Amino acid sequence: MKKRKLGLKGPEVSAPGLGCMGMSHAYGQIPDKKEMVSLLHAAVEQGITFFDTAEMYGPYTNEELLGEALAPYRNKIVIATKFGIKHQNGKQIQDSRPEVIRKSIEGSLKRLKTDYIDLYYQHRVDSAVPIEDVAGTISDLIKEGKIKFWGLSEAGVKTIRRAHAVQPVAAVQNEYSLWWRRPEEELIPALEEMGIGLVPFSPLGRGFLTGSFNKDSKFGSSDFRSMVPRFTPEALEANQVLVDLLKTFAEQKNATPGQIALAWLLAQKPWIVPIPGTTKLIRLKENIKSAEITLNTDELNGIQSALAKILVVGDRYPEEFEKSTGL
């Protein structure tokens, strides 16, 4: 398994990592726990060393799953988890007060069966708490040995700079893929300047970029995608042109559309580490092999030229979720 370093001073991790949210949260029926434990074991055995979770996935049950499954491998892996979102009256609310962060870290340490968190993200920025106060609390937790590195998720560049000035940020987690490229405008140049790694979540467009869906695909009420504008029948049909593009390059490289989507991300910067999620062993193996695919300059330019002619249809989140979601 190829390794990458998250930024100048962050941890070294496998490329890709593994997003674990779907094993306990958001995508319909929750998979069998024993099967997910086996899948996590298989991931380690096949070279994955970077695992992503959060206290609000479940909530709490995803951390418990990883704590149980990964305990035998703790000194060989990097675990990332997140704080700062809580459920209240059926809604997700940001809360990054210092006392809440301290309560959260103790809970995560217990559920993950560990003495330290490798990478601890603020899940979403809390406008009610100055980011300097958050960074100061994190700095104290690092000095106490409870955290090795910290990061921010879906934060703006100005906020990242303010946080980084107090306690160096190792990584920023942000949605980034062939159908969500806004990070290229300001975020990626700023991260490169500051020496911070990027961890793209939903690198396969919540499964869309694998070619698994079409305009007739249905999503149950417990599947978050049933609420997402990009997964309406009309949007799925309109965006199929993007999957067709991936299929063309996949045929040329003897690969799958999903592998091309991941290989494209890996080709953007050496400090980018996508975390595709899956609950299936066959997809896990497929995602791992994406790191073996090299897209040359002509191929990357070809993809870029084709993308310039494609207009992605539909917002990535429902309007009410855009700022509050923990996904």
Is 326 within the bounds of a domain? no
Does the residue 327 lie in any domain? no
Does residue 3 have a pLDDT over 50?
Answer: yes
Would you say residue 56 lies in a domain? yes
Q: In angstroms, rounded to a whole number, what is the distance separating the alpha carbons of residues 279 and 36?
A: 7
- Tell me what pLDDT residue 327 has: 36
Mean pLDDT of 66-83: 98
**Predicted confidence (pLDDT) at residue 198 exceeds the cutoff of 80:** yes
- The whole-number average pLDDT for the span 208-218 is 91
Residue 116 pLDDT = 98
Known catalytic residues?
57
pLDDT at 143: 98
Percent of the chain with pLDDT over 90: 87
Average pLDDT rounded to a whole number, residues 158-179: 97
Question: Domain of 27?
Answer: 3-321
**pLDDT bracket for residue 321 (50, 70, 90):** low
Mean pLDDT along residues 211-234: 88
Q: What is the pLDDT of residue 267?
A: 98
Does residue 303 lie within any of the structural domains?
Answer: yes
Number of domains in the chain: 1
Q: Cβ contacts of residue 254 below 8 Å, gap of 6+?
A: none
pLDDT at 296: 96
Question: Quick check: is 294 in a domain?
Answer: yes
Statement: residue 319 has pLDDT above 80: no
The per-residue pLDDT for 87 is: 81
Residue 248 lies in a domain: yes
Reported as a single tens digit per residue, the pLDDT across 99-147 is 999 999 999 999 999 999 999 999 999 999 999 999 999 999 999 999 9
pLDDT at 226: 86
Q: What is the mean pLDDT of residues 257-276?
A: 98
* Residue 322 binned pLDDT confidence (cut-offs 50, 70, 90): low
Look at residue 195 and tell me if it is in a domain: yes
CATH number of the CATH domain containing 268: 3.20.20.100
What average pLDDT does the structure give for the chain? 94
pLDDT class of 320 with cuts at 50, 70, 90: low
Average pLDDT over residues 142-154: 98
Residue 326 has pLDDT above 80, yes or no: no
pLDDT at 304: 95
